[in-house]
Amino acid sequence: MTGMMKICTYPDPVLRAKAEVVKTVDDDLLALIKGMGETMYAAPGIGLAANQIGSLKRVLIYDLNPRINGRKLSVIINPEIVQREGEIVYEEACLSVIDYSAEVKRHARVKVTGYDQNEKPVDIEAEDLLAICLQHEIDHLNGRLFIDHISTLKRALYKKKIQKMLRKEND
C-alpha cells in the first residue's frame, strides 16, 4: 500500500463518508500514513485526510512547508477539535475538489487533540494557516468538503462544472 495513491475527487461518495476511529496503530496503518505522505508531497498539497485516498480511518497528515528542505510530516490519528475561537476568512483549495478555490470562513484558533503514529498524545494550539488546515482535514474525516462552507449558488455552479467535465470524459 505504499507509494503513490490515487486521490479521490468530488463527487466520489467516499468523500462524504465519516471516517472510523482508529483503535490500534499497526503495520497497515503505518503503511497507509507513509503512502499518504508520498501522495500529499507529490500532489503537491499541505494536508491530506485518509478519506481522500479512499480509506475510512480517522487519520490526517500535514506539512505547511512541503516545498522547503527538511520536510516535517505531522500525523494526527483520531483528531478532535476541543476548543475553537475567533474567525478568519481564507482562500481554500483541495486536492479532492479539482479546479476550484473559494474564500471560506473558519475559526481563527483551534485546539486539536489526538495521537501520533508512535501513539504519543498530540495537543496542538493552532492559529492562522495551521488552524485552517486542521479544520479542513478534520472536515474531510467527517465527510465534509470546503465547498460545504460556501454559498449554495457557488456550490451549484461548481457541481454543474464538474458534471460537465465528467460527461466530456465519458464521451
**Positions marked active-site:** 137
Grid cell 503505518 in the structure block, residue: 30
Cell output for 166: 465528467
65: amino acid identity, one letter: N
Q: For residue 1, how many C-alpha atoms fall within 13 Å in the half-sphere facing its CB?
A: 15
Dist CA 170 CA 158 (whole Å): 19
Contacts of residue 106, defined as CB under 8 A and 6 or more positions apart, other chains included, come to 87, 88, 89, 90, 131, 132, 135, 136, 149
Task: Point out which residues pair with 73 in neighbouring strands.
Answer: none
Rounded to whole angstroms, how far apart are CA atoms 27 and 96? 26
